[in-house]
Amino acid sequence: MKLNDPEYPSVLVTAVEILRERAGTGRSITYGELSAKLAERDFDRVPPHRGIMTYLLRDVCHHENEDGCAPMLSAIVVNKASKEPSEQFSVLARSLPFSRSGEWTWRDEQRAVFARYSGG
């Protein structure tokens, strides 16, 4: 899959739905799990590493968050081995429009995501 594929907007919306559902449980999700859940919903061209997944997670953070003030939803997507997001997540968090501070950590962002979507 590529960014200009006609189905990309649908993949993005589906990824947002999956991540919001998972965030509501207070649990992270691995890149592989997200890829598998997308495949279950007939989007089987999103491999868990590099490529389109990188752009998809960036766009998930921007989705309905143009000013960057809402928590970055992809903070809950982690590497299976390290249990942490990729370094690209921190780079994105420090860029516009998110501009997270020097004291900020991805764990802070993850807690904010869980708090927002937990329904409580």
Q: Taking residues 26-32, report their average pLDDT.
A: 96
Tokens of 107: 């764990």
- Within a domain: 53: yes
- Within a domain: 39: yes
- Within a domain: 42: yes
Domain count, the chain: 1
Cβ neighbours of 113 (radius 10 Å): 24
Is a pLDDT exceeding 60 seen at residue 13? yes
- Within a domain: 60: yes
Q: Taking residues 85-89, report their average pLDDT.
A: 92
Pick 102 or 67 by higher pLDDT. 67
- Within a domain: 78: yes
Q: Provide the sign of the torsion angle of the four alpha carbons 33, 38, 42, 47, taken in this order.
A: negative
CA distance 114 to 80: 19
Q: Taking residues 89-114, report their average pLDDT.
A: 94
- Matching residue, tokens 């990824």: 15
Q: Taking residues 20-39, report their average pLDDT.
A: 96
Is a pLDDT exceeding 70 seen at residue 120? no
CA distance 66 to 83: 28
Could you tell me the residue range of the domain that residue 102 belongs to?
A: 8-117
- Within a domain: 1: no
Q: Taking residues 94-111, report their average pLDDT.
A: 94
Tokens of 19: 């991540």
